[in-house]
Structure 1
Amino acid sequence: AQSIGKVQEELFSAKRLGVLMEGFEVDHLHVHVWPAYSTADFEVHNADHNPDPAVMDATAVKLRAALRAAGHHEAVPAD
Structure 2
Amino acid sequence: MTTVFTRIIAGELPGRFVHRDDEVVAFLSIAPLTTGHTLVVPVAEVDDWTTLDPALWGRVMSVAARVGAAVRTAFDVPRAGLVIAGFEVPHAHVHVFPARDMTDFDFRNVRHDVPATELADAQQKIVKALGA
TM class, shorter-length: 0.7 to 0.9
Q: Which ranges of structure 2 fall in alignment gaps of 5 or more residues?
A: 1-63
The number of residues matched between the two structures is 69
Equivalence for 2:29 = none
Task: Check the 8 A contact 1:17/1:36 in 2, yes or no.
Answer: yes
Worse-matched range after superposition: 35-44 or 23-32: 23-32
Equivalence for 2:111 = 48
Task: Check the 8 A contact 1:21/1:30 in 2, yes or no.
Answer: yes
Equivalence for 1:72 = none
Identity %: 35
Equivalence for 1:12 = 75
- Please, what is the CA RMSD of the aligned residues? 1.4
Q: How is 1:30-41 mapped onto 2 (pairs within 5 angstroms)?
A: 30-41=93-104
How far apart in 2 are the matches of 1:8 and 1:24?
A: 24
How far apart in 2 are the matches of 1:23 and 1:7?
A: 23
Name the structure with the higher helix share: 1
How far apart in 2 are the matches of 1:18 and 1:61?
A: 20
Worse-matched range after superposition: 21-30 or 6-15: 21-30
Equivalence for 1:67 = 130
How far apart in 2 are the matches of 1:17 and 1:68?
A: 18
Give runs of ≥4 in structure 1 deviating > 6 Å.
none
Code of the aligned partner of 1:54: T
Q: Which ranges of structure 1 fall in alignment gaps of 5 or more residues?
A: 70-79
By how many angstroms is 1:41 displaced?
0.5
Equivalence for 2:87 = 24
How far apart in 1 are the matches of 2:102 and 2:87?
A: 24
- How does the TM-score come out when normalised to structure 1? 0.75
